[in-house]
Structure 1
Amino acid sequence: MTNELLETTIAAVREAGTRIRTLGTRPTTAEALTAGLKANDDAVTEVLEPLLTAALPGSGWNTDEHGEGPMPAGDWWVVDPVGGNLHALYGLADWNIGVSLVRDGRPVLAVLHIPLTGETFTAVAGEGTLLNDEPVHVSTKTDMSLALAVTGQARPTRDPAAARRAGAAITAMMQHALYVRASVPVGHQLAQVAAGRLDLLWQFDNLRSHIAPVLIAQEAGATVTDLDGKPWQITSTGYLAAAPGLHAAALDILRPLS
């Protein structure tokens, strides 16, 4: 992986962050909400797609943020144009632009940019995680009673069984952790785990939009497994990303619910 490709990706993502068209419009109808979400996604894609595909000739392009499962062979840019797009529309700060490069089914590069704070997280497989060019590392905590835990609703669902499981997991974690947050976007929360600001995150789904921030958390030292304790893959159905000293305890809490 060349520094030039990483720098090109960083510059493209930062440029895309300036193009959001509907920041803080606070739509009040379904039609306005849909239009605002699409306008933001389109604005970011219009910047990123030509720059990134030109930087890596022959690469594929995937913006199916809710997609899951295996990916084709070769190089693929996997882009979540606006993670937390709802937050951008309603004037909240927790939204970002995330890009990963998946090579033959494995993430090798990730950039996540948070425009309103100016923070840019980057990771290259095997080379660690940087926040604005400075190394970051996950928490060193070992006591679950001091853990700051987080999960999120990765995609809208009204499935009763999924809602019950999510609620049961939050209830179970609240009996052990210091603090439990349920928030989106998932990528934003994973970046906070990477920076040691939060201690663990779990999900009962594993979407395309999670690939970049999972790599960022891994390269910052997080232990990332599926909910059976096997190493995370892009084909996993769910996962836990945690500080190494907390992972086993958190997995014991979550495994019965998976």
Structure 2
Amino acid sequence: MDLEYVRNVGIAAAYEGGGILRSCLGNLSSIGKKGAIDLVTEADLGSEKQIIQTIRSRFPDHAVLAEESGENPGEPDCQWIIDPLDGTTNYAHQIPIFAVSIAFSYREEVVVGVVLNPVSGELFTAVKGKGAELNGRAIHVSESRDVSESLLVTGFPYDFKEIIDSVMGRFKSCLRASRGVRRLGAAALDLCFVACGRFDGFWEENLKPWDTAAGMVIAAEAGGRVTDFKGKAFDVQDREILATNGSIHREMMSLLALKEKK
């Protein structure tokens, strides 16, 4: 499997989807709901359609898992995992913190990640074993050694009202211990910002594979550590994700675990 070619196809698809997002930004005719606060727009749908079309034009037999259309069967060893618009709520409010997220899984292991912010023009990419890049330049996680010196980022799941006590408990614990906590509203970018050292750690729960697949391989290839809250190597089907620069990982696990005991 030529993973460099796979990455290049992923990049091409991301730019195709990103072009649709840019053209629709501020020009939405309607905004639908998949849940109480889980939005969907014609931009999500148009971007996904174009991304899949671009990928299928090169790899017609590959399987696809996409946020809006679900599973599209194909060769079981080769699967593309697509979020055509990560950060839909930001997008709907014209906040330019959103991205196209595309990952490629080979034999059930995510080996390629592509995340594009079509407004800023920042393109994050990674191929397993080859490192991570931002607009073609190598990136690496931060060197912070302690949470007290760290800037963290998190997100709140769509069902946060059902688990509000644990969500806010963890948030409070990490806020007290760190230099600060941000909430951007786009998990793929959160992971990429850990990868390039803007944040030192990220945690969230109840995400979907398309939210994390691309960003997790980018963070890992940039030298980060990505696990669940208890330290098990992260799988895209997991419900908890903790990504850090590695140095603060154990301390972050302790902060998150404390909330489970209350």
TM-score with structure 1 setting the length: 0.89
* Residue segments in structure 2 that go unaligned for 5+ positions in a row: 34-38
Q: Quick one: distance in 2 between partners of 1:169 and 1:202? A: 9
Task: Give the alignment partner of residue 123 of structure 1, picking from 118, 123, 126.
Answer: 126
- The residue aligned with 1:194 is 195
For residue 64 of structure 1, report the CA deviation from its aligned partner. Answer: 2.8
- Structure 1 residues 38, 26: CA separation in 2 closer, same or farther (over 3 Å shift)? closer
Map of 2:31 onto structure 1: 33
Report the counterpart of residue 14 of structure 1 in structure 2: 15
Give the Cα separation in 1 of the matches to 2:187 and 2:228: 16
Contact 1:122-1:131 within 8 A present in 2 as well: yes
Shift of 1:5: 2.4
1:221 lines up with 2:223 in the alignment = yes
Greater CA drift, 116-125 or 205-214: 205-214
Deviation at 1:73, TM superposition (A): 3.8
Verify: 1:59 aligned to 2:62, yes or no.
yes
Given that 1:26 and 1:91 are in contact with CA atoms closer than 8 Å, whether structure 2 keeps it comes out as no
| Matching residue of 1:78 | 81
User: Counterpart of 1:34 in structure 2: which amino acid?
Assistant: G
Match of 2:36 in 1: none
The yes-or-no answer on 1:247 pairing with 2:249 is yes
For 1:81, the aligned partner's letter is: P
State the 1:62 CA deviation.
1.2
CA contact (8 A) 1:14 1:113 kept: yes
Identity %: 25
Give me the CA root mean square deviation: 2.1
1-structure distance, mates of 2:114, 2:148: 32
1:65 shift after superposition: 7.0
| Structure 1 contact 53–61 (Cα < 8 Å) conserved | no
Q: Compute the displacement of 1:56 (Å).
A: 2.2
Amino acid at match of 1:244: G
Distance 1:16 1:26, change over 3 A: closer
Aligned AA (1:96): A
Contact (CA 8 Å) 1:9, 1:52: kept in 2 or not? yes
In the alignment, the residues of structure 2 paired with residue 14 and residue 254 of structure 1 have an alpha-carbon distance, to the nearest angstrom, of 36
Contact 1:65/1:79 (<8 A) preserved: no
Flag the 1:66–1:46 CA change in 2: closer, same or farther, 3 A: closer
Matches within 5 A, 1:20-169: 20=21, 21-25=23-27, 32-34=30-32, 37-64=40-67, 73-154=76-157, 156-157=158-159, 159-160=161-162, 162-169=163-170
How many residue pairs were aligned?
248
CA distance in 1 between partners of 2:150 and 2:228 (Å): 20
- Tell me: CA distance 1:142–1:117, structure 2 relative to 1, closer, same or farther (3 Å): same
Decide whether the 8 Å contact of 1:105 with 1:234 is kept in 2. no
> Normalising to structure 2: TM-score of the pair?
0.88
CA–CA distance in 2 between the matches of 1:8 and 1:44?
A: 15
Displaced runs of 4+ in structure 1, greater than 3 A? Answer: none
Superposed displacement of residue 216, structure 1: 0.8
SS at match of 2:116: strand
SS in 2 for 1:61: strand
SS at match of 2:52: helix
Alignment partners' CA distance in 2, 1:121 and 1:185: 14
Bigger shift: residues 226-235 or 243-252: 226-235
Please tell me the residue identity of whatever aligns with 1:80.
D
CA distance in 1 between counterparts of 2:78 and 2:3 reads 14
Q: Gapped runs of 5+ residues in structure 1?
A: none
